[in-house]
């Protein structure tokens, strides 16, 4: 199997293209400062992951900006911090402020020359529009949790993706699902027989950061520490 075998790259966005861990941690600073707790970054991200998964499970039809508002409310309760409603909503609206990984725009622009680029993301359309400006590329299709009514790793999200791409003339063998989260993406991608590429942004750190731990049998077909490394591997293949 080679990178050049595929026609479509389907992307998770947050954690893969957008540095959501830095964005989340920065947006939680006011709450952390008010709490007086001395938690390291990964401890904060782990608590975020716990509450995000719980909220997505409880309210799968809730759009992501509202869901983040509830996650902030949960964290405030856990850390015994009283804040006003505006503080919760500011966190919910913070996604467009989350930075892109430095390599994402140039790598996407290169990959766009060789593939259709498609987003499958646990996000709402308004939040993604802000992130898309940072990525500086036009995606061929964008499928969000708001469109689908559920959150990955729900199989419904991948079923929706495959149905939409089939209508455009692409089958499973044409698609390489490209994502950071083994929990949200790779496990379900494999359930559907999709090839997948792990962009292991946390390759030099322990733990799972802002995502839940994956199932023990999760697998993938390619692994790179960055999107730039993936693009470079494609370039080497293409040049023979």
Cis check for the bond before 153: say yes or no (omega within 30 of 0).
yes
Query: Which residue out of 12, 19, 124, 185 is catalytically annotated?
Result: 12
Catalytic site residue 12? yes
Q: What share of the chain is helix, strand, coil (3-state, %, to 5)?
A: 50, 10, 35
Nearest alpha-carbon partner for 181 in 20, 9, 7, 64? 20
Angle, CA 53 vertex, CA 190 and CA 35 arms, to 5°: 145
- Which tokens belong to 137? 């590329």
160 SS3 class: helix
Q: What is the C-alpha to C-alpha distance for residues 183 and 159, in angstroms, rounded to an integer?
A: 17
Q: What is the C-alpha to C-alpha distance for residues 154 and 191, in angstroms, rounded to an integer?
A: 11
The set of catalytic residues is 12
């Amino acid at each position: 199997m080679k990178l050049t075998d595929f026609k479509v790259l389907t992307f998770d966005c947050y954690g893969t293209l957008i540095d959501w861990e830095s964005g989340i941690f920065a947006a939680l600073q006011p709450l952390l400062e008010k709490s007086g707790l001395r938690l390291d970054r990964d401890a904060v991200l782990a608590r975020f992951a716990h509450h995000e998964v719980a909220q997505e499970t409880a309210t799968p039809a809730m759009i992501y900006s509202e869901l983040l508002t509830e996650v902030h409310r949960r964290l405030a309760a856990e850390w015994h911090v009283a804040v006003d409603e505006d503080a919760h909503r500011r966190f919910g609206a913070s996604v467009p402020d989350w930075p892109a990984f430095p390599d994402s725009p140039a790598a996407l622009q290169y990959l766009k020359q060789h593939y259709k680029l498609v987003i499958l993301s646990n996000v709402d359309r308004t939040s993604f529009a802000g992130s898309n400006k940072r990525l500086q590329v036009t995606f061929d299709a964008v499928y969000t949790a708001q469109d689908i009514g559920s959150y990955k790793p729900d199989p419904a999200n991948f079923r929706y993706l495959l149905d939409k791409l089939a209508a455009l003339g692409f089958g499973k063998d044409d698609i390489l699902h490209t994502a950071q989260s083994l929990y949200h993406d790779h496990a379900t991608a494999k359930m559907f027989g999709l090839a997948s590429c792990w962009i292991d942004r946390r390759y030099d750190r322990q733990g799972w950061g802002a995502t839940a731990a994956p199932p023990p049998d999760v697998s993938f077909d390619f692994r790179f520490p960055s999107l730039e490394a993936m693009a470079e591997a494609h370039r080497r293949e293409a040049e023979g």
